[in-house]
């Protein structure tokens, strides 16, 4: 028998009273159970939200898109399977786990292992630029085996979304339509890189969140 499946649904909707309630009703009409909601970004008259929803056996994820976009002013940015644990204070727990790890390399490994769950990406690595060139220091379980031979954006001074179509990006990453973002980890020559295969692109608020988190982690790692 098929198990209940969870999906991460990113939607853009009008930022007005009742819009979120209408969305919840629409998703419920196709059997979806909303487990959590995070506000990703707010702008002039709109909001971007991440919803983790459960679908019953036999229900197709396309039903979520149809139900949502039947509402006025609602656009589904992306939908993808969700396998991470739901945590009320993800960033704080990540910081605590990094601090509890012994030694710099172990702390970096904890960072990249837990960052995908916290920041809702597919993989994470730490890269470093030294006299011999750029190299990967640690990577999460989902990090691609194919590595970038050249990283021209290092050193990096601030968190930013990276051009995923640039020549330095390995072809296999481009084939998977991988959205990329990076932030310095204290030293501009050391950076955390996030990859989100299949998108969506990183929004400014997500890049800012990455920058704040790596800034705190850098003080812990030293």
> How big is the chain, counted in residues?
222
SS3 5: strand
| Residue ranges of domains in the chain, CATH in brackets | 5-81 (3.30.70.260), 90-221 (3.30.450.40)
Q: What does the alpha-carbon distance between residue 9 and residue 177 come to, in Å, rounded to a whole number?
A: 18
Strand residue runs (E) in 44-108: 46-55, 75-81
pTM (2 decimals)?
0.75
Share the mean pLDDT of the chain: 89
Longest dimension (CA), the chain: 59
Q: What does the alpha-carbon distance between residue 109 and residue 221 come to, in Å, rounded to a whole number?
A: 11
Write the pLDDT tens digit of every residue in 186-201: 899 999 999 999 989 9
Write the pLDDT tens digit of every residue in 132-166: 888 999 999 989 999 888 899 999 999 999 999 99
CA distances from 88 to 28, 36, 118, 187 (A): 23, 9, 10, 30
Rounded mean pLDDT, 117-146: 91
CA distances from 76 to 31, 49, 51 (A): 18, 10, 11
**DSSP 8-state class, residue 44:** T
Q: Nearest-5° angle of CA 110, CA 113, CA 115?
A: 100
Q: What does the alpha-carbon distance between residue 42 and residue 64 come to, in Å, rounded to a whole number?
A: 22
């Amino acid at each position: 028998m098929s198990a209940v499946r969870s999906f991460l649904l990113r939607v853009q909707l009008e930022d007005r009273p009742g819009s979120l309630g209408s969305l919840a009703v629409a998703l419920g009409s196709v059997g979806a159970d909303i487990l959590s909601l995070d506000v990703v970004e707010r702008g002039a008259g709109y909001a971007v939200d991440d919803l983790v929803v459960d679908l019953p056996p036999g229900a197709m994820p396309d039903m979520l898109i149809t139900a949502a976009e039947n509402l006025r002013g609602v656009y589904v940015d992306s939908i993808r399977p969700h396998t991470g644990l739901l945590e009320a204070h993800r960033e704080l727990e990540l910081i605590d786990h990094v601090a509890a790890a012994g030694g710099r390399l172990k702390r970096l490994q904890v960072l990249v292992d837990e960052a995908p769950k916290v920041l809702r990406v597919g993989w994470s690595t730490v890269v470093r630029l030294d006299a011999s060139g750029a190299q990967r220091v640690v990577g999460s379980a989902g990090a691609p085996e194919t590595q970038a031979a050249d990283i021209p954006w290092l050193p990096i001074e601030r968190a930013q979304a990276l051009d995923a179509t640039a020549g330095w990006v390995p072809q296999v990453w481009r084939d998977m339509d991988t959205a990329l973002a990076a932030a310095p980890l204290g030293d501009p020559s050391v950076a955390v890189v996030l990859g989100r295969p299949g998108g969506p692109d990183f929004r400014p608020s997500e890049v800012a969140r990455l920058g704040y988190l790596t800034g705190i982690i850098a003080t812990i790692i030293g």
